């Protein structure tokens, strides 16, 4: 599959866009006319720059409102096309995208429309250029790609063919399979989108996504394109408010990654298949030497013990039951945060080949004598994802301390939650789905005191769960950090864990009395059970099938590190999202040390007791 991207999909100047597309390995670009008009580069200079970068200019776009019921206006359209065709040649390109008309003067008779398109194709052919006619989903007369193709067939001009765009096809609910029967498919654009109930025009202009980030069945679309015999580039045209303001280099990597993954979905085996990670090895918390003791104190209160010390020092292994937490003291002065996810994997070598194809090359930490090599990826938010085999065992890097954990009831890591930068949410999700093969859950929107928080959990077949959270746009403007980076430990008896935690000097995040009053009203819980929840600030949820979720949070060590302990009963599959507003408000009242003075009625912060 030859890959292309429309320059409108990336931020920056035209030259920045071209450089970003080339760096991400694209074969070609579509030049979006407004990008050219705003550029100091003349068309020939664009051609030269693209050539130097190894990029073809596959298409110039868009030529809008080609036809008109007013003959004089139609003549002006041909004259306009003559200019644009000459320009297209200067770009080193021979194809112009022509959109179906949306204006009041649009022709509504297919024969007349075909005649006008034929006249335009004559003009284009005279300049050595072809036209790819695209049915916009909101076209005045032509909105269905099959209708567009019929008009193209009616015109019967060799320089006139069809362009299909997955958004325009799938947003209308049109069947993409008929694309397989198109015999003059000149160009193919793909975009994904969330399934939103809104007018198709603003949906298209603001909410398009790269393949795999939305809800369209693009593999089916793409299989139909392939079946048509189309051999041209597959080109991304993604209008997205956030990618418009994102670093174009990183966005281009997302774009290329999404397209390579789509190629693999369309024709399985295009990418090396990689086994999904089989479970958690560890999570790693990084803190400065000053910050690490608070992390250690928290883990100790939870009944974990420092059972191992790294051969090269400054890194400890804490264990308890089936939970392993690595505490790395080597970080620079930053606050404690989840820095690395250790996943068990049988085949890191196969994974390496696949990751490289998906533009996520493996990196390797320095390996000391006697240590296991742990191939790793760096996620878009900077978190390392490390793949731990059984032989050699990564635990061999740690020398036993002789200490023993008191906590036996932890059955493993339930999930981790990673805070994302505002424009990085969809990027991180794409990494998890394509590179790690995880499945996205539903988007949750949660009201925090200072704005809405979006959250989405990704799951793997082996039961790995990673939740991504992103705060409101201007959280930093109001100076209140969003507390969301944490690890959730699974237990079979959360009430016993919290009692032991408190007895050991731990402090659960305080939950308002009003919250537990509401639990009683909603669920009619047994009074003694409710009192137990209330006493130790344990939250509760119940799903429609009777599954139950009991969980508490520790006070935060930092805005990016705290611990949740969860107990799932009866097959509960969620994350207690209904409780998240209460948790976020409580964290605002009781912020982590150094994270500001909290809410108006907060009494100031207290540190976790060592």
Alpha-carbon distances, residue 479 vs 424, 601, 604 (angstroms): 20, 16, 15
Q: CB of 78: closest distance to a copy of itself in angstroms?
A: 11
Which stretch in 72-80, 141-149, 168-176, 312-320 sits in contact with a copy of itself by CB under 8 A? Answer: 72-80
**What are the DSSP E strand ranges found in 301-438?**
305-310, 315-320, 323-328, 337-344, 363-364, 375-378, 384-388, 398-400, 410-420
Give CA 71 to chain center in angstroms: 48
563: how many CB neighbours lie within 10 A of its CB?
Answer: 24
Closer CB to a copy of itself, 201 or 496, in the complex: 201
Contact 416, 488 (CB under 8 A): yes
What is the spatial distance between Cα 130 and Cα 157, in angstroms, rounded to a whole number? 10
Nearest CA among 123, 135, 151 for reference residue 62:
135
Q: CB of 380: closest distance to a copy of itself in angstroms?
A: 15
Contact 7, 31 (CB under 8 A): yes
70 binds a copy of itself (CB under 8 A): no
Angle ∠(357,209,60) on CA atoms, nearest 5: 85
What is the spatial distance between Cα 15 and Cα 326, in angstroms, rounded to a whole number? 44
Q: CB of 27: closest distance to a copy of itself in angstroms?
A: 22
Closer CB to a copy of itself, 39 or 189, in the complex: 39
84 binds a copy of itself (CB under 8 A): yes
Asked if residue 134 belongs to a known ligand binding site, the reply is yes
Closer CB to a copy of itself, 332 or 514, in the complex: 514
Closer CB to a copy of itself, 15 or 278, in the complex: 15
Asked if residue 16 belongs to a known ligand binding site, the reply is no
Cis peptide bond prior to 392, omega within 30° of 0? yes
Applying the rule CB under 8 A, the residues between 467 and 486 that interact with a copy of itself are: 472-475, 477-478
Q: CB of 348: closest distance to a copy of itself in angstroms?
A: 35
Applying the rule CB under 8 A, the residues between 1 and 20 that interact with a copy of itself are: 8, 11-13, 15-16, 19
Closer CB to a copy of itself, 147 or 454, in the complex: 454
Asked if residue 415 belongs to a known ligand binding site, the reply is yes
Applying the rule CB under 8 A, the residues between 570 and 609 that interact with a copy of itself are: 581-582, 584-586, 588-589, 599-601
Closer CB to a copy of itself, 25 or 451, in the complex: 451
Which residue do the tokens 């119940």 mark? 542
80 binds a copy of itself (CB under 8 A): yes
Applying the rule CB under 8 A, the residues between 297 and 336 that interact with a copy of itself are: none
Question: Running DSSP on this structure, what letter comes out for residue 240?
Answer: B
What is the spatial distance between Cα 3 and Cα 156, in angstroms, rounded to a whole number? 28
What is the spatial distance between Cα 328 and Cα 232, in angstroms, rounded to a whole number? 50
Question: Running DSSP on this structure, what letter comes out for residue 396?
Answer: G
Asked if residue 30 belongs to a known ligand binding site, the reply is no
43 binds a copy of itself (CB under 8 A): yes
Contact 148, 124 (CB under 8 A): no
Q: CB of 605: closest distance to a copy of itself in angstroms?
A: 15
368 binds a copy of itself (CB under 8 A): no
Applying the rule CB under 8 A, the residues between 177 and 206 that interact with a copy of itself are: 196-199, 202, 205
Structural element, H or E, at residue 513: helix 513-523
What track of x and - describes contact with a copy of itself for positions 202 through 241 (by CB under 8 A)?
A: x--x-----------------------------------x
Q: Residues in contact with a copy of itself, total (CB under 8 A)?
A: 71
Which residue do the tokens 């990597």 mark? 253
What is the spatial distance between Cα 243 and Cα 10, in angstroms, rounded to a whole number? 6
Q: Which residues contact 278 (CB under 8 A, 6 or more apart)?
A: 343, 344, 345, 346, 462
Applying the rule CB under 8 A, the residues between 509 and 528 that interact with a copy of itself are: 510, 512-515, 517-518, 520-522, 524
What is the spatial distance between Cα 543 and Cα 554, in angstroms, rounded to a whole number? 24
Contact 482, 528 (CB under 8 A): no
Closer CB to a copy of itself, 289 or 477, in the complex: 477
Asked if residue 237 belongs to a known ligand binding site, the reply is yes
Using CB under 8 A, pick the residue from 2, 54, 70, 83 that binds a copy of itself: 83
Closer CB to a copy of itself, 313 or 600, in the complex: 600
Give the N- to C-terminal CA distance of the chain in Å, as an integer. 58
Closer CB to a copy of itself, 197 or 366, in the complex: 197
Applying the rule CB under 8 A, the residues between 254 and 273 that interact with a copy of itself are: none
Asked if residue 189 belongs to a known ligand binding site, the reply is yes
Closer CB to a copy of itself, 293 or 451, in the complex: 451
Q: β-strands 28-32, 56-63: how paired?
A: parallel
Closer CB to a copy of itself, 61 or 409, in the complex: 61
Using CB under 8 A, pick the residue from 51, 227, 245, 570 that binds a copy of itself: 245
Q: Which residues contact 382 (CB under 8 A, 6 or more apart)?
A: none
Asked if residue 334 belongs to a known ligand binding site, the reply is no
Q: What phi and psi, each to the nearest 5 degrees, are found at residue 528? A: -65, -40
Going by the annotation, the residues of the binding site for Mg(2+) are 415, 486, 564
Question: Residues marked as binding?
Answer: 134, 165, 189, 237, 415, 486, 564
Which residues are annotated as part of the binding site for a divalent metal cation?
Answer: 134, 165, 189, 237
């Amino acid at each position: 599959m030859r890959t292309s991207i429309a320059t409108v999909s990336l931020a920056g100047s035209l030259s920045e866009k071209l450089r970003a597309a080339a760096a991400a390995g694209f074969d070609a670009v579509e030049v979006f006319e407004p990008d050219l008009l705003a550029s100091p580069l003349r068309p020939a200079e664009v051609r030269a720059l693209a050539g130097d970068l190894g990029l073809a200019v596959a298409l110039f776009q868009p030529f809008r409102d080609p036809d008109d019921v007013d003959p004089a206006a139609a003549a002006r359209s041909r004259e306009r096309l003559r200019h644009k065709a000459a320009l297209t040649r200067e770009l080193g390109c021979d194809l112009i995208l022509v959109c179906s008309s949306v204006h009041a003067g649009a022709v509504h008779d297919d024969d007349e429309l075909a005649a006008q398109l034929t006249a335009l194709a004559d003009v284009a052919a005279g300049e050595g250029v072809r036209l790819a006619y695209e049915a916009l989903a909101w076209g005045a007369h032509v909105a269905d790609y099959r209708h567009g193709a019929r008009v193209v067939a009616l015109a019967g001009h060799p320089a006139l063919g069809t362009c299909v765009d997955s958004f325009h096809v799938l947003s209308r609910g049109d069947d993409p399979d008929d694309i397989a029967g198109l015999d003059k498919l000149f160009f193919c654009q793909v975009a994904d989108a969330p399934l939103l109930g809104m007018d198709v025009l603003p949906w298209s202009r603001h909410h398009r996504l790269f393949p795999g980030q939305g809800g369209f069945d693009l593999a089916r679309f793409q299989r139909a394109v392939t079946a048509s015999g189309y051999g041209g580039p597959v080109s991304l045209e993604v209008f997205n408010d956030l990618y418009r303001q994102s670093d174009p280099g990183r966005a281009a990597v997302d774009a290329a990654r999404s397209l390579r993954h789509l190629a693999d979905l369309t024709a399985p085996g295009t990418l090396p298949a990689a086994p999904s990670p089989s479970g958690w090895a560890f999570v790693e918390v990084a803190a400065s030497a000053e910050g690490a003791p608070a992390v250690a104190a928290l883990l100790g209160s939870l009944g974990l013990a420092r059972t191992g010390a790294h051969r090269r020092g400054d890194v400890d292994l804490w264990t308890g039951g089936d939970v392993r937490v690595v505490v790395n003291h080597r970080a620079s002065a930053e606050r404690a945060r989840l820095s690395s996810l250790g996943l068990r994997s049988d085949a890191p070598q196969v994974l390496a080949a696949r990751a490289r194809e998906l533009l996520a090359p493996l990196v390797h930490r320095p390996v000391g004598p006697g240590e296991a090599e742990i191939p790793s990826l760096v996620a878009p938010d900077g978190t390392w994802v490390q793949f731990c085999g059984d032989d050699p065992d990564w635990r061999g890097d740690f020398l036993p301390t002789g200490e023993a954990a008191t906590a036996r009831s932890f059955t493993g890591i339930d999930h981790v939650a990673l805070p994302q930068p505002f424009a990085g949410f969809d990027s991180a999700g794409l990494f998890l789905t394509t590179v790690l093969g995880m499945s996205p859950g539903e988007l949750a929107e949660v009201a925090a005191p200072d704005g809405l928080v979006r959250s989405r959990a990704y799951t793997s077949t082996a039961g790995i769960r990673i939740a991504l959270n992103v705060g409101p746009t201007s959280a930093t403007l109001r100076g209140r950090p969003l507390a969301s980076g944490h690890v959730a430990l699974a237990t079979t008896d959360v009430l016993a864990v919290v009692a032991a935690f408190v007895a050991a000097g731990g402090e659960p995040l305080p939950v308002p009395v009003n919250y537990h009053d509401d639990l009683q009203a909603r669920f009619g819980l047994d009074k003694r059970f409710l009192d137990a929840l209330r006493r130790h600030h344990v939250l509760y949820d119940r799903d429609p099938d009777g599954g139950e979720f009991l969980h508490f949070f520790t006070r935060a060590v930092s805005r990016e590190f705290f611990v949740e302990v969860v107990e799932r009963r009866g097959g509960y599959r969620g994350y207690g999202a209904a409780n998240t507003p209460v948790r976020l408000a409580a964290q605002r009242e009781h912020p982590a040390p150094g994270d500001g003075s909290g809410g108006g009625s907060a009494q100031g912060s207290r540190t976790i007791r060592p």
